[in-house]
Amino acid sequence: MIQLYIPLNFLGVIYREIKQSLADMERLFGLLEQHREVADAPDAQPLATQGARVEFAHVEFSYDPKRQILFDVDFTIPAGTTTAVVGHSGSGKSTLSRLLFRFYDVQAGAIRIDGQDLRHVSQESLRHAIGIVPQDTVLFNDTIEYNIAYGRPGAGHDEVVAAARAASIHDFIESLPDGYATMVGERGLKLSGGEKQRVAIARTLLKNPAILIFDEATSALDSKSEQAIQAQLKEIARQRTTLVIAHRLSTIADAGQILVLDHGRIVERGTHAALIAADGLYRQMWDRQQARQDEALASPETIEQ
Ligand code: ATP
């Protein structure tokens, strides 16, 4: 029996390895696919940032010519300030961040950083200037140290630890039997949503970009993690030009500017107080979320948690 078990078990391991490698390759090809959409102009210059003012000027965009996604999107994020985008699912919020990262080019209008059209700067310099804290961070099947250092290849151990401390994940890492050498990802330790976001924050701190895109997770973390992450983000957003793709309005109430997208158009803009007073779509979304929160608080299961 044992004689049969060992080879079968071995085959199982090989099968899992192959499956994982295929998953990694799929991810890699997915990324390459996205990069193929645009190419550097022959005379592309490195992006030179001075505070990083971001400007979307009358942007029109469609992934597919038959279906336009953004219509005359026009806004500016002054250097070093935070702008949040809200809107129903599918309204085009994440598309804005993909365009700022230049995964695609706009069909009309322009996107500029400190006056430089994204189509005229090298993609390498653009991607160097922008840090993304995504909804769902991809972890590589490697150590947690590697996963943080990925923010700035070549970063030393002390720098990784400093970033992990600033992202409040150092103590958690130290508590693991293998510390920073712990394997994570699909083949290693599975991290919770909040832990993964902290790894992404540590990566971004190491990268130290002029522009930050924060794509808020759709599924809420528990409120303690949520508050801690919000506090850290506020810290890293200070002095950086920040675009927040928001799903929970409570997290962006103090953003310098809030844009409300509806079917690819900016239908309202202003501060939280101004938008509440305007009594339009934002006010409706806010009232609905508050009502849902009150319901959740009133439900016994939530109180027990
Ligand atoms: P959510 O809040 O659900 O994340 P969103 O406001 O961020 O939504 P986007 O992801 O920007 O919405 O998508 C806007 C529209 O573009 C959607 O209708 C979506 O189906 C479409 N879309 C997104 N990505 C692609 C793509 N790669 N190809 C074709 N259509 C796409």
pLDDT per residue, tens digit, the chain (305 aa), is: 555 555 555 556 555 555 555 555 545 544 544 545 789 999 999 999 999 999 999 999 999 999 999 999 999 999 999 999 999 999 999 999 999 999 999 999 999 999 999 999 999 999 999 998 888 888 899 999 999 998 888 899 999 999 999 888 999 999 998 999 999 988 888 898 888 888 999 999 999 999 999 988 766 566 677 777 778 888 888 889 999 999 888 888 889 999 999 999 999 999 999 999 999 999 999 999 888 877 877 765 544 33
Contacts of 80 (CB under 8 A, 6+ apart): 51, 52, 239, 240, 241
Give the closest residue (by CA) to ligand 1 atom 18: 90
Distance between CA 224 and CA 227 in Å, rounded?
5
DSSP designation for 221: P
Distance between CA 96 and CA 85 in Å, rounded?
9
* 94 CB near ligand 1 (under 6 Å): yes
Ligand 1 pocket, mutate which of 35, 91, 101, 249 (most atoms under 8 A from CB): 91
Give the closest residue (by CA) to ligand 1 atom 27: 63
Distance between CA 121 and CA 32 in Å, rounded?
19
Closest Cα to residue 145, out of 208, 199, 204? 199
Contacts of 27 (CB under 8 A, 6+ apart): 138
Question: What is the distance in A from the centroid of ligand 1 to the CA of 29?
Answer: 20
Tokens of 232: 């850290």
Question: What is the distance in A from the centroid of ligand 1 to the CA of 69?
Answer: 8
Distance between CA 250 and CA 272 in Å, rounded?
10
Ligand 1 atom with the shortest distance to the CA of 96: 11
Contacts of 142 (CB under 8 A, 6+ apart): 183, 184, 185
* 95 CB near ligand 1 (under 6 Å): yes
